[in-house]
Amino acid sequence: SPEQIRRDQRIGLEAIREFLQSKTSFDVLPVSYRVIVFETSLLVKRALNILLQNSIVSAPLWNSKTSRFAGLLTSNDFINVIQYYSQNPDQFQFIDNLTLNGLRDVEKAVGTTTSLETVSIHPFKPLYDACVKMIQSSARRIPLIDEDEDTHREIVVSVLTEYRILKFVSMNCKETKILLQPLHELNIGTMTNISAAKLETPVMEVIDLMIQKSISSVPIVDDQDKLINVYEAVDVLTLIKGGLYTDLTLSVGEALLKRSDDFEGVYTCTLNDSLFAISETIRKARVHRLFIVDDEGKLLGVLTLSDILKYILFS
């Protein structure tokens, strides 16, 4: 009965919260894994190539002069550089020689308000605390920092993402099975003021949209408002690969041609789907958000991993 389903939903959420309280971020880490770190004196265009070469979209930075962790390189940084270039097209040489040290100045120059201080957390704190910190800082990833026992210098143990945490929950928390309430009853996700674009929209306009609304993806719809694709923040990495800024004049449809062939596609769901079904999808595939569509495929809204994490922790 709907009442039983609602009761189960509450029981399931409580159980998942307890699970998150009982585990540490360290528990999410595989037995053996790698951490790719960039020295802050590295050129931005080199760092970009290394990210693409390793099929990653972010990396912790290490300032060898101070021997300290210097924040995370993310797609936001590349979006700032693109914005700086579009505002100062004569500064190509400056951008070509830009090192990771210089990204904070570019961030100030374009006036983005990303939190200057990267939040981090100790690996042995409860996983619940890492989730709270990520949600509070609207970061989608959080570095795990410990200190060296002898020298008390920082160790970047790893970087946890929302996706990895939700995947860990879906794989280890059987209570996800009783989260069967349909999305339309949960008041979750963004259903109004969705900024969408068309395939012909200039990619720079889409990037400006991401900056203005602090979003990491813009749905692409056709003339009947049917969802046909999505431009994601991580797509800007392929746009300026090799330090070329000539492709900024492309339409977003053309820019999407640069996506690598192993892109797994955009995930959609309907308002009748449950968090159990979504959790199963996260367990099996690299899902970073789901677009909510109606029976004809028209765009209704978007459900991000932050929305899901926020709902699990605070609803």
Partner 1 sequence: SNIAVLPSSLPQIHRAYMVQMHPELASIQPITTKKSKTRWHFGIRSRSYPLDVMGEIYRALRNLNAEWQRPSEEELWTIKVRWKYSPNDIGVDSTQKKIPDMMKLQIQLFQLEPNNYLVDFKFDGWDNADGSEVENVGIPDDDAVSSFSAYPFLHLCTRLIMELAVNS
Partner 2 sequence: LATTSIKHNTLAVACVVRYKRKYVTQILYAPL
Is residue 62 close enough to count as binding partner 2 by CB under 8 A?
yes
Q: Are 115 and 293 in contact (CB under 8 A)?
A: no
Q: 31 — phi, psi (to 5°)? A: -65, -35
Is residue 266 close enough to count as binding partner 1 by CB under 8 A?
yes
Binding residue for partner 2, selected from 5, 15, 17, 39, defined by CB under 8 A: 39
Binding residue for partner 1, selected from 74, 291, 307, 311, defined by CB under 8 A: 291
Is residue 78 close enough to count as binding partner 2 by CB under 8 A?
no
Task: Select from partner 2, partner 1, none the partner in contact with residue 174, using the beta carbon and a kind-dependent cut-off of 5 to 8 Å.
Answer: none
Torsion sign, CA atoms 182, 183, 184, 186 = positive
Neighbour tally for 17: CB within 10 Å? 16
181-240: contacts with partner 1 (CB under 8 A): 199, 227-230, 238
Binding residue for partner 1, selected from 86, 88, 268, 306, defined by CB under 8 A: 268
Neighbour tally for 188: CB within 10 Å? 21
What is the per-residue DSSP string for 255-306? HGGGS-TT----EEE-TT-BHHHHHHHHHHS--SEEEEE-TT-BEEEEEEHH
Binding residue for partner 1, selected from 64, 97, 138, 315, defined by CB under 8 A: 64
Residue 149 CB, nearest approach to partner 1 (Å): 5
Task: Select from partner 2, partner 1, none the partner in contact with residue 197, using the beta carbon and a kind-dependent cut-off of 5 to 8 Å.
Answer: none
Residue 156 CB, nearest approach to partner 2 (Å): 8
Is residue 245 close enough to count as binding partner 2 by CB under 8 A?
no
- Closer residue to partner 1 (CB): 114 or 268: 268
Q: Are 73 and 99 in contact (CB under 8 A)?
A: no
Task: Select from partner 1, partner 2, none the partner in contact with residue 298, using the beta carbon and a kind-dependent cut-off of 5 to 8 Å.
Answer: none
Q: Which residue has the tokens 């595989």?
A: 30
Is residue 246 close enough to count as binding partner 1 by CB under 8 A?
no
Question: What's the 3-state SS for 133-152?
Answer: HHHHCCCCEEEEEEECCCCC
Task: Select from partner 2, partner 1, none the partner in contact with residue 267, using the beta carbon and a kind-dependent cut-off of 5 to 8 Å.
Answer: partner 1
Is residue 158 close enough to count as binding partner 2 by CB under 8 A?
yes
**Residues touching partner 1: how many (CB under 8 A)?**
57
Helix (H) or strand (E) holding 231: strand 227-232
Q: Which residue has the tokens 């929305």?
A: 307
Binding residue for partner 2, selected from 34, 152, 174, 284, defined by CB under 8 A: 34
